[in-house]
């Protein structure tokens, strides 16, 4: 296992994701940063956290990656079988408390799952 260091910027990313009510794009995380941080830094912080299982991400319909803290992942081979919802109005991607039963696929090795539903969220539907 590679050695790691604790840095203020990593802590800020964790703080931001902890307080987030929905998954966040890198752009959104950058804007939420209380200090100036380079985008490459945020990409690499998230990359490291994803490897460690601290965060997970979904790819939105828009092709952008959206990150969220992992609440109950095991460190390795974590599966994220809950559903994400992307709102076409406010663009936010939310983790929903629904689990999907993943079918067993013979001769396929499943490493990750991304279940995304797209439409209008409860906040925007009014």
Give the residues lining the site for a second copy (CB under 8 A).
59-65, 83, 85, 88, 96, 98, 100, 102-103, 105-122, 125
Q: Is the dihedral of CA 39, 63, 65, 110 positive or negative?
A: negative
Query: What are 60's two structure tokens?
Result: 């939105």
Measured torsion, CA atoms of residues 120, 67, 59, 108, in degrees rounded to the nearest 10: -120
| Total site size for DNA, rule CB under 7 A | 26
Closest approach of a second copy to the CB of residue 93, in Å: 12
Token pair 């490291």 is found at 48
- 24-53 footprint of DNA as x/- string (CB under 7 A): -xxx--------xxxxxx-xxx-xx-----
Q: With respect to a second copy, which residue has the nearer C-beta, 8 or 113?
A: 113
């Amino acid at each position: 296992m590679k050695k790691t260091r604790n840095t203020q910027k990593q802590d800020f990313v964790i703080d931001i994701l902890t307080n987030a009510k929905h998954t966040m794009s890198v752009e959104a995380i950058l804007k939420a940063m209380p200090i100036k941080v380079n985008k490459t830094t945020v990409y690499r912080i998230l990359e490291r956290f994803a490897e460690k299982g601290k965060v997970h991400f979904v790819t939105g319909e828009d092709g952008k990656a959206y990150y969220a803290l992992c609440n109950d992942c095991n460190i390795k081979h974590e599966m994220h079988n809950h559903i994400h919802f992307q709102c076409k109005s406010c663009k936010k991607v939310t983790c929903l408390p629904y689990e999907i039963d993943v079918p067993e696929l013979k001769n396929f090795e499943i490493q990750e799952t991304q279940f995304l539903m797209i439409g209008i969220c409860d906040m925007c539907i009014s």
